[in-house]
Amino acid sequence: MRRLAIAIVTLFIAAGGAQAAEIKALISTAMKAPFQEIAAQFEKATGHKVIATFGPTGPLTKRIADGEAADMVILGGENTATLIKEGKIAAGSKADVARGMIGAGVAKGAPKPDISSEASFKAALLSAKAVAVTDPAGGGSSGVYFSKLFEKMGLTEALKPKLKLAAGGPNGYAATFVIKGEADFAMQPIPELMAVPGIEIVGPLPGAFQNVTIYSAGIPTSAKEVETAKALIKALTDPSAAAIYKSKGLEPG
């Protein structure tokens, strides 16, 4: 952590030590924990203020596409690249920050389903009384992914009555259904499972059922604090931030 603070100060000095600014950031939910930790160090080292909104990738992408002003974003999947093509994010500003896998989680001390193979994962889904995932209607990337995966597995109809659909975003984690005793296990990005107190990680989804998401930063063309946003993105991608990402269930870059 100290190395990251030193790196931020170095970046700040190299950028000319700009006057304190306020940055508006739109950040995908899975990036919330590491972003908050790195942004706090950035604020302390530079005097800048980071105002972050966290939510599912889909709705955040739509907000930028519809013209909402922001100084930086971190979005999952191809959404940052898509917004560049649409002229909503500046070309050349894209930077891959972290990547994460989808996993399953249970309440601490509860029996863990066997998801070590594709066959056992399918059996675990069919034998569970209830399974929690993010509602695809809310635009969360994992919810959309599971909707397609269940169809591919031929389980859409079998799972429909047992699915518990969470709203998504930091106030709508699927794992909360597990804590309340309403689902046997939850499936969503591992950082989001880790964000819910009382959840124990079972592990990542197996083989072909896994979906690795790359979270990419970018600077919208509506940005007012471009140089400050660039400095924050450099801090987020600095090698010294790797330990923070790993501690939150992600891998750097």
pLDDT, residue 89, reads 98
Q: Beta strands 213-218 and 95-100: pairing type?
A: antiparallel
Reference 249, options 50, 30, 4; nearest CA is: 30
Whole-model pTM over 0.85: yes
Q: Which domains does the chain have, with CATH numbers?
A: 2-99+214-252 (3.40.190.10), 102-209 (3.40.190.10)
Number of C-alpha atoms within 13 angstroms, CB side, residue 124? 24
**pLDDT given at position 180:** 97
Give the tens place of pLDDT for each residue, 142-193: 999 999 999 999 999 999 999 999 998 888 999 999 999 999 999 999 999 9
Residues of the chain with pLDDT under 70: 1-18
pLDDT for the residue numbered 114 = 98
- Comparing CA positions, the residue from 14, 19, 25, 17 lying closest to residue 236 is 25
In this structure, the strands spanning 49-55 and 199-204 are unpaired
> What is the pLDDT at residue 12?
54
pLDDT value of position 28 = 97
pLDDT at 20: 82
Given this model, what pLDDT does residue 17 score?
55
Judged by phi (left if over 0) then psi (alpha if -120 to 50, else beta), residue 192 lies in alpha
pLDDT of residue 18: 59
pLDDT at residue 14, as a whole number: 47
Burial of 24 (0-12, 13-18, 19+ CB in 10 A): buried
Distance CA 146, CA 229 (A): 33
DSSP state of 19: P
